[in-house]
Amino acid sequence: MGLYIPRRKKASRKYRGTRSCGWGRVAQHRGSGRKGGKGHAGMHKHKWTWVLKYARDYFGKHGFHRPPEVVRKYVEVNVGELEDIADRLAKEGRLEFKDGLPVIDGFKLGFNKVLGGGRLSRPMVVVAESFTERAVEKITAAGGQVVRPQ
């Protein structure tokens, strides 16, 4: 007598050859009849109770969008990039000095915020609109100066 090992039938065998796969007549599953229409059809009509239960905020306006002219855009530079910027300016002959320290002016170079990522190994004067606390710590720890114009 052979050994019988019970195995689960493959799910893909379930509706092979049945043509309608349990949906009754051939075309009943094809369109969107029986479901009340395709997608969000009828949300303001016969599906209104569904909207009230599951999608209360589907209709109407919600929230507030700030006008683009009010939103401030920051162009950021990390502390670790300042030395590379200084080297590039020195090569181009555009590096300015103040009290013997190189000056990195964010207004002239197109950035307005300095972030605290990276390391700074030499002192420099950095001019920008705003700085993070870590950026100020790192610049002053290297012997540099932070300048915020009034």
Which tens digits make up the pLDDT trace of 34-71?
A: 889 999 999 999 999 999 999 999 999 999 999 999 99
Which tens digits make up the pLDDT trace of 67-109?
A: 999 998 999 999 999 999 999 999 999 999 999 999 999 999 9
pLDDT of the residue at 148: 93
CB atoms within 10 A of CB 131: 21
Over 90: is that where the pLDDT of 27 sits?
no
Sketch the domain layout of the chain as residue ranges. Answer: 17-63, 76-147
CA distances from residue 45 to 37, 40, 50, 51, 88 in whole angstroms, order as listed:
11, 11, 10, 10, 66
- Whether 77 and 85 have beta carbons less than 8 Å apart is answered as yes
pLDDT of the residue at 1: 63
Q: Is the pTM here over 0.75, yes or no?
A: no
pLDDT of the residue at 31: 84
pLDDT tier at 124, thresholds 50, 70, 90: very high
Assigned CATH class of 17-63: few secondary structures
As given in the structure block, the two tokens for residue 26 are 């051939």
- As a residue count, the chain comes to 150
Over 80: is that where the pLDDT of 14 sits?
no
Assigned CATH class of 76-147: alpha beta
